[in-house]
Copies of this chain bind each other. A is one copy, B any other.
């Protein structure tokens, strides 16, 4: 049983809603019993606030949710992996995701949750991708952050290195090959799938590295529709195609 939280602790938990404080302390916040329990399996618990040690008003003060869920935890971030590319390249099943400037926390959270479903364990992120420890991202992952690791890197540089090691780089481009074609994906176990920014897609520096451009065809192919799919949706469709048996 913990002592009742102090005013200073409550203020400190709330400060972790801001990236600069999360970065300075190497900590982040998660809410909701299920999410917190999932994350305890992967992250060191630093502080737990429940109705046992905080009033409902205090929980509200610490919460980033409109409807606070009664349980708030502070966790220590994972240590930064110095060479995530080596980790990915050396794994026999190296299928991974790369995000080039995904901005919306809801989209990033949904993408992490989808990666968890489809057994993708590593996501390489450009440095301008949303922070995976942002409270909105953490909540949208529904606990999947415990099983999926994000690595913020100099993306063009890291992808160029992986490409040199013969790892296929996939990306969805308007002039890519129909993703459903039999030969569009030569080896479904191996490669990096690159997804781009909500408005601008994949940046020019990264685009030129793509070895296997893919295209998600609309239906019917000859009638114009929305110009694009939501990036979380496009990621899910591509991952489903990679994880499909044939």
Contact = CB atoms under 8 A, between A and B. Distances in A.
B117 A229 contact: yes
In the complex this chain forms, how many copies of it are found? 2
Nearest to A143: B226
Interface in A200-220: 216-220
A244 B180 contact: yes
Contacts of A243: 217, 219
B219 A119 contact: yes
Interface residues of A toward B: which range? 20 to 34
A228 interface: yes
A118 B218 contact: yes
Interface in A206-246: 216-220, 223, 225-226, 228-230, 232-233, 236-237, 240-241, 243-245
A200 to B, nearest CB: 15
Contacts of A110: 230, 232-233
Contacts of A190: none
A105 to B, nearest CB: 11
Nearest to A236: B233
A68 interface: no
A114 B219 CA distance: 11
A241 B241 CA distance: 9
A227 B117 CA distance: 8
A26 interface: no
A233 B118 contact: no
A74 to B, nearest CB: 22
A226 B106 contact: no
Given A180-B244, A237-B237, A229 B119 contact: no
A130 interface: no
B180 A147 contact: no
Contact of A119 (B180, B216, B218, B240): B218
6 contacts: A110-B232, A117-B226, A117-B229, A119-B218, A219-B243, A240-B240
For the complex of A and B, the 5 pairs showing the least CB-CB separation, nearest first, are A119-B219, A233-B236, A219-B243, A237-B240, A116-B226
